Amino acid sequence: MIPFLIKSAVSLIFLAAGIQYWRHGTMTKEGLSPNDPSSHSHPEDCRLVHLDLELNVDFNKHIFSGFAHLTVEKHKDGVDTVVLDSKDLKIKNVTDQSTGQQLSYSLGDKLEVFGSRLEIRLPTTNGNKLNISIEYETSPEASAFQWLTADQTAGKRQPYLFSQCQAIHCRSFVPCQDTPSVKFPYTAKITAPKEITLLMSAISTGSETDSSDSTKSIYRFEQKVPIPSYLIAIVGGDLESRDIGPRSKTETMLKTAEDLCGPYVWGRYDLLVLPPSFPYGGMENPCLTFVTPTLLAGDKSLADVVAHEISHSWTGNLVTNKNPEHFWLNEGHTVFVERKIKGRMYGEPYRQISAAERWIELQQSVVRTI
């Protein structure tokens, strides 16, 4: 992810400092993980290994409702619960997916920012893997989403929705282990009004009219590569697409990144231009990078942001930090690869000048904060 109009090591200092403050302020809070001070979950005991979403989106109420089907795996003998993160979710029911048996659960007190601890008692089985279903509903105030009315969009024809789950907002979308140390593949079946086009950070596997309601469409997605929860993304609205081919810089950047880092494993690389309210330069969601509309400047002066987001396909999305204290590793390695791409495309002097500029900014920032 690139903070809007900030792309330098300077931001990493503030990020690291902020997270250290975050840690010291929360480590004493009961229930938060010793391995990730921003999460309630304990994946060292029982870990989420697959997620299947079956949801309806309501643009009038600004909510999602339906089911999250979770496959979890016990890693220790005697473990009889799984602990998940949730934030402002209305939990309606929890069942053993294989038998339909209702499972008991408890929802802890809400901690500001971090949400609530959702602890589910697991059924007694012989194996270590279990499938559980959680029926739930999101809140209209869910921090993961921004909802726009039709009048707030450029086309003024349909409402619009986009998500931003980084760093710890996925827990307001899905009950999950919302920590970068837990990575899992996911599938999704999302029902929406037929006028709405839906996309996710996954490969589309088809869409059809809802047989029970002809005014709605069902969209299906699959992400086979395990990802952390912060990379789950969804967007819906009056969307149009354009193919970008060999003449685009994006294709050259992607091929250069493959030469440097190895094969691109995500299948597709799509760029989605979000409304001006999107607060970042870009967000590296797999298969579907979100970018600010300022990238469409006629002189292409901001187009190199794409090189940064492409680099995240390896540094961050494939190799991921353990917890938010170490997000600076994602960004630091990504900037390194980004500059390597630019050096290959525009020449080594370009890369060196870019690095020198950011080094000067870093020094100036340190002086200002002393």
Tokens matching residue 356? 């020198």
Give the span between the Cα atoms of 57 and 138, in whole angstroms.
Answer: 10
Burial of 249 (C-beta count, 10 Å sphere; 0-12/13-18/19+): middle
Measured at the CA of 91, the angle between CA 90 and CA 97, to 5 degrees, comes to 150
Nearest CA among 299, 237, 216, 307 for reference residue 2: 307
Q: Is residue 308 part of an annotated ligand binding site?
A: yes
| AA letter at 116 | S
Q: Is 312 annotated as a binding residue?
A: yes
Residue 112: CB partners within 8 Å, gap ≥ 6? none
CB 255 within 8 A of CB 171: no
Cα–Cα distance for residue pair 90/87, rounded to 1 Å: 9
Q: Please state, in angstroms and rounded to a whole number, the distance separating the CA atoms of residues 84 and 103.
A: 14
Q: Answer yes or no: are the C-beta atoms of 282 and 1 closer than 8 Å.
A: yes
| Dihedral over Cα of 7, 8, 9, 15: its sign | negative
Binding site, by residue number, is 308, 312, 331
Residue numbers in the known binding site for Zn(2+) are: 308, 312, 331
